[in-house]
Structure 1
Amino acid sequence: MNAKLIRMAIVLGLLSVIGPVAIDMYLPALPEIGGQLGVTDASVQLSLMSFMAAFALGQLIYGPISDMIGRKPPLYIGTLVFIAGSIGCAVAPSVEWLIVSRFVQGIGGCAAMSLPRAIVRDEYTGAEAAQLFSLIMLVFSISPILAPLAGSVVIAFGDWRLLFWVMGAVGVFGLILSVVALKETRPKHLRTESTIGSAIRGYGMLLKDWNFLGLTFIGAFGMSAFMAFIGNSSFVFIEHYGLTPTEYSLAFSVNAVSFFAVSQSTGILVKRFGLQRVVRTAVTGFALSMALLAGIFIAGIDNMWVLSGLMFVAFGFLGLVLPTTGVLAMEEHGEFAGTASALMGTLQMVLGAVVMGIVGAFHDGTAIPMVLGFAICAILAFILTQVTIRTTVTPVVGAPAE
């Protein structure tokens, strides 16, 4: 395997972890935060939703700026803002302060999530890009696998405030990494062609590109199911099924392992079958698994092992959906990859935040609202796939982008 590919995957994967750590690490502490601040579960969930809203909207700024001045300076700025937001959360005297600080944290953290996609497109297309995305996701898997466990350990020896000091330390590490281990991939001669006007025109063109939007929303509905799991699983597993925070962290990690482990076969499958066929097959498996899970729970079988088992299968298929739809959507937009990556990330995160909020609003103490949210997202992704991807192409062999 290409050593350059592996090195880039490690660096970009570690940078991409910064935002998700701020989500996953404090999931086991959500019930405790509500208790200490004297607010409801819904109020605590607003801190998660404010982070995700900022995480989505901030990308619209970083993407075009990175096209104009390069990829690295926006990474520096965003990471510093993330560190400041983490400190604000750590000293929050009220849930309102926490919600605002989480918004600041999200504005900063989104830079390290959206810009790696643009950096990949700067260097690669096709199967190599898909392979790099899957490798990044392997490194990225550190967050959902270890962050909830680390969070449960922290709150066992400290409290939820210590979690945000740890997040700030992660931000410092990311800043150092982006300075010393990441090269600039946006050449100066391309930056001169990027302006605020060209960014606005680029957004306008992308919003009229039905292929880009279709592929983006296929990934968005898949991600929304995962976001519904992130936002509601701690209440379901801890309060409904009676798990401890540590046991919940293990259950959460198992499903994350499925998601990221299966994603590692993306490069091989794309070279063998082509991007479009992999997308169609993976979305079909994802939709069937989630529909079966919903049917079982609607029939009255409320079982944690059934829930975990079918989520394990469904999230495995989802591990193929996200990297392949991302590569296909970005394939034709290398000239303003930052803008395209930003719009894709924003649309996906906004939809994820909306779905998370809707599922949370219907939370009734059982797993059914969450399971129905999974199924609806998966079925919509399947329908959109049939409309967007009508033909199967031959395998695409990646090559460095021009």
Structure 2
Amino acid sequence: MKPSSHPTHSNLLVYVLASLAALAPFAIDTYLPAFHVMGAQLGASDVQIQQSLTFYLLPYALMTLWHGAISDSIGRITTIKWGLGVFVLASIGCAFAPNVETLWFFRALQGISGGAGNVVARAMVRDLFEGAQAQRVMATVQMLFGIAPAIAPIIGGVLLGIYWQAIFIFLAFYSAFSLWAAIRYLPETVPVKKRMPLSAKQVIKDYKVIFGDKEFNYVVLALSANFAGFFLYVLASPVFLVKQLGFTQHQFGYMFIPTVCGMILGSFLAKRAAGRYARQKVVKVAYLWMAAMVILNVLICYTLPTRPLYNILPIALFNIGMALAMPILSLVALDRHPKIRGTAASGQAFIQMLLSTVSAGLIVPLVWYAPSGLALTMAGYLIFGWLMMRKSKFYNHQ
């Protein structure tokens, strides 16, 4: 089912899809300014509050393996209804958590349900749009999606002035509004006759096909590593911004606004490049740009004093290249398996969130000792992503 040719209707679809995709960064970033206050009120250490990210991200990553398959079986809209409905209840549970263990439980429940919107939105972009238009729409969704990490910590800082619990009440209202908009404005793109049977055996069989596809793996690992290079700064922000750069809990926007502006600019350039330049050429330019910014970041960390302008600017500039390549790589991966596109979207989201989970639980606490540790880790992620990209047939296609 293709959308109406009327531009207002098409734009509305894009905004609703973007609101679904943005739920994940809102769930991660909005409460970052509250880490220290939450730790004090819940009697928990910085590491214990940091682990609430892991308790969200790990179930999120694991459940993304099922959201797409479920949507291929029961339909996209029904999957959104169940996922966001549970997320609303889990957000309320987080708001009233009396201790860190209860917070962990409801964050895990948020993670289990929160990926439904993101996975289904990716699949629906490809359900509804084709060719260069699909690339432009994916770039637009990503551009709007990119605004969320910029405004989420600012919203969190404002709500922190009321109570930290107000942050999770906001998440409940946001997810409820996105759910209403999806039901009201999005068409069902998987008619009953095209639905796939849902069984563990079938899902495992589909994932064997998807993860047995080397080309899919190379492209998705490259995309995920590029994103992880930036996302590790999001995960480390309570220490990076407050303890290393000297910001308060209400000043997180000083990092998130410029870094997300970089992401938005990269998405805008990807949208402009769609249909004008070969996709391989755009991706290669994006990697050259990211490499230059990674080198600049490392040099700054080892040669200049730690200051907000020096240490944030390379991250913002890196995001231009990351966002330029992302919609192209995402569509290349989805187009590998058009008959089980929802499952492919799940596999893509799973790998991306798995790298983010590893960052949150293992890598970030080891490298947030100084800006140089984060800069070297960003460089490591980019090198890994580039090596994966070089192995792909897409990158080497002439």
Which TM bucket (shorter chain)?
Answer: over 0.9
Partner of 1:94: 99
User: Where does the alignment leave 5 or more consecutive residues of structure 1 unmatched?
Assistant: 394-402
User: Where does the alignment leave 5 or more consecutive residues of structure 2 unmatched?
Assistant: none
Decide which moves more: 364-373 or 201-210.
364-373
Residue 328 of structure 1 is aligned with which of 326, 329, 332?
A: 332
What is the letter of the counterpart of residue 260 of structure 1? I
Q: Hey, which bits of structure 1, 4+ residues long, moved more than 6 A?
A: none
Task: Describe the superposition over 1:286-341 as per-residue Cα deviations: whole angstroms up to 9, x where unpaired.
Answer: 12311331233234643321111111110111111221110111113111111000
Partner of 2:55: 50
Identity %: 27
* Separation of aligned partners in 2, 1:127 and 1:218: 21
**Equivalent pair of 2:300/2:311 in contact (CA under 8 Å):** no
Task: Describe the superposition over 1:83-134 as per-residue Cα deviations: whole angstroms up to 9, x where unpaired.
Answer: 1110111111111111111010111111011111111121233322111111
* Separation of aligned partners in 2, 1:219 and 1:5: 27
**Equivalent pair of 1:355/1:373 in contact (CA under 8 Å):** no
**Equivalent pair of 2:236/2:368 in contact (CA under 8 Å):** no
The 5 A counterparts of 1:175-194 are 175-192=179-196
**Equivalent pair of 1:224/1:353 in contact (CA under 8 Å):** no
* Separation of aligned partners in 1, 2:196 and 2:102: 41
Residue 341 of structure 2 is aligned with which of 326, 337, 343?
A: 337
Partner of 1:141: 146
Partner SS for 2:275:
helix
Partner of 2:26: 21
**Equivalent pair of 2:224/2:351 in contact (CA under 8 Å):** yes
What is the letter of the counterpart of residue 247 of structure 2? L
- Pairwise CA distance, 1:138: 2.4
**Equivalent pair of 2:240/2:368 in contact (CA under 8 Å):** no
The 5 A counterparts of 1:25-104 are 25-104=30-109
Partner of 1:230: 234
* Separation of aligned partners in 1, 2:39 and 2:253: 18
- Pairwise CA distance, 1:256: 1.0
Q: TM-score, normalised by structure 2?
A: 0.93
What is the letter of the counterpart of residue 380 of structure 2? I
Task: Describe the superposition over 1:193-236 as per-residue Cα deviations: whole angstroms up to 9, x where unpaired.
Answer: 66554432221011111111011001110121222111102211
- Pairwise CA distance, 1:363: 4.4
* Separation of aligned partners in 2, 1:273 and 1:194: 40
Partner SS for 1:332:
coil
* Separation of aligned partners in 1, 2:224 and 2:267: 17
**Equivalent pair of 1:270/1:278 in contact (CA under 8 Å):** no
Change (3 A) 1:171 1:287: same
* Separation of aligned partners in 2, 1:379 and 1:270: 26
The 5 A counterparts of 1:294-313 are 294-299=298-303, 301-313=305-317
**Equivalent pair of 1:125/1:331 in contact (CA under 8 Å):** no
Partner SS for 2:276:
helix
* Separation of aligned partners in 2, 1:326 and 1:234: 30
* Separation of aligned partners in 1, 2:65 and 2:151: 29
* Separation of aligned partners in 2, 1:54 and 1:289: 32
**Equivalent pair of 2:16/2:178 in contact (CA under 8 Å):** no
Aligned residues, how many?
A: 392
Task: Describe the superposition over 1:19-47 as per-residue Cα deviations: whole angstroms up to 9, x where unpaired.
Answer: 22111111111122122222221111100
What is the letter of the counterpart of residue 224 of structure 2? A
* Separation of aligned partners in 2, 1:193 and 1:99: 33
**Equivalent pair of 1:70/1:191 in contact (CA under 8 Å):** yes
* Separation of aligned partners in 2, 1:52 and 1:155: 23
Residue 168 of structure 1 is aligned with which of 165, 172, 186?
A: 172
Change (3 A) 1:95 1:10: same
Partner of 1:400: none
- Pairwise CA distance, 1:141: 2.8
- Pairwise CA distance, 1:9: 1.0
* Separation of aligned partners in 2, 1:360 and 1:96: 21
Change (3 A) 1:159 1:366: farther
Change (3 A) 1:2 1:195: farther
Change (3 A) 1:390 1:316: closer
* Separation of aligned partners in 2, 1:32 and 1:214: 41
Partner of 1:264: 268
- Pairwise CA distance, 1:247: 2.1
